[in-house]
Amino acid sequence: MNAEIKVEAGGLELATPVVLASGCAGYGDEWLELVDLDAVGAVVLKGVSLEPWPGNAPPRIAEAPAGVINAVGLENVGLDTLVREKLPALDGLPCKVVANVVGRSRDEYRDVCSALAAERRVDALELNVSCPNVEARGMAFCADAEGLRDLVADCRDVAGKPLWVKLAPMVTDIVAVARAALDGGADALTIANTVPAMAVNVEARRAVLGNVYGGLSGPAIRPINLRLVHVVYKETGADLIASGGVDGWRAAAAYILAGARAVQVGTALFDNPGAPAEIVAGLKEYVKREMFDGLSFLVGKLRGDRK
């Protein structure tokens, strides 16, 4: 049915290039009645840590120009509950399942990956490396290329399934960070996470978010992440999954032309739970109209790019 838009990305065969982004798609089944999962290639679950994390003080979300700023703070049920209660509920899901992993230390990432390796309902793992590393004075894992390579290599050793690494957009040298993750053994890179941001309520003279700072998502960050995808694709040719402001088929097509094999949809679900189905329909039309053999033929095919 979706032959023309089937893609292979990060070691997975995806029925469509639309992936639901971590943190916006809960534990995979919350949206069942509103989002057409037949239009979805994979769902990335909420980031999971070894123990439950409570998350940040409210308010946790603020509207911004063309985006939202969230400071949910990686609230999650923890590994045990994920395995015991959440994964079994996903048996009938028509798409692939990717578990997103967070941690405060290298050991924590490795332990979570190693436990998830045995879970048959998990088709791939995605490491969120934007978290602060308590062993490195709270510096984000992706801020240190060498440390990142070792972290990914540790996880690669135990993961036993495709491993995606989700990068942060605000790094000095995205190509160096991307290479480090690939050297560590990543099968694909998700580019990228939210952009650090804040909002102020001038009447109350207070930051809107309980945590003061949060991460900006939505169309506001699309041009930024689009460039990152393009740069990393040109320099590494790796399998890339784009994330940031995908709200329609044009945004998806732009990322694919820039070098992504699949796109994640997060914030757009809130406004329009029909977005995944609309994107799939739009991409099918596009492929047909432009007379391409299939969507995967379009990956990185920006005119004017040097080979």
Ligand X SMILES: Cc1cc2nc3c(=O)[nH]c(=O)nc-3n(C[C@H](O)[C@H](O)[C@H](O)COP(=O)(O)O)c2cc1C
Catalytic residues: 131
Measured between its terminal Cα atoms, the distance across the chain in Å is 33
Three-class DSSP category at 216: strand
CB atoms within 10 A of CB 184: 22
Closest CA to 38 of 55, 20, 52: 20
Instruction: Report the candidate in 9, 5, 30 with the shortest Cα–Cα distance to residue 270.
Output: 30
| 128 binds ligand X per the rule CB under 6 A | yes
Selected from 9, 14, 25, 148, the binder of another protein by CB under 8 A is 25
Q: Choose which of 14, 21, 115, 277 interacts with ligand X (CB under 6 A).
A: 21
3-state helix, strand, coil in the chain (%, to 5): 35, 20, 40
Q: Does 166 bind ligand X (CB under 6 A)?
A: yes
Q: Which stretch binds ligand X (CB under 6 A): 3-11, 84-92, 113-121, 243-251?
A: 243-251
Check residue 103 for interaction with another protein (CB under 8 A): no
Q: Which of 172, 204, 289, 303 binds another protein (CB under 8 A)?
A: 204
Nearer CB in complex with another protein: 74/151: 74
**DSSP annotation of 221:** G
Does residue 91 interact with another protein by CB under 8 A? Answer: no
Which of 14, 24, 180, 192: binder of another protein (CB under 8 A)?
24
**Helix, coil or strand: residue 163:** strand
Binding status of residue 78 toward another protein by CB under 8 A: no
- Spatial contact of 216 and 244, defined as CB atoms under 8 Å apart: no
- Residues lying near ligand X in the complex (CB under 6 A): 21-24, 46-47, 68, 70, 72, 74, 100, 128, 166, 193-194, 217-218, 243-246, 264-268
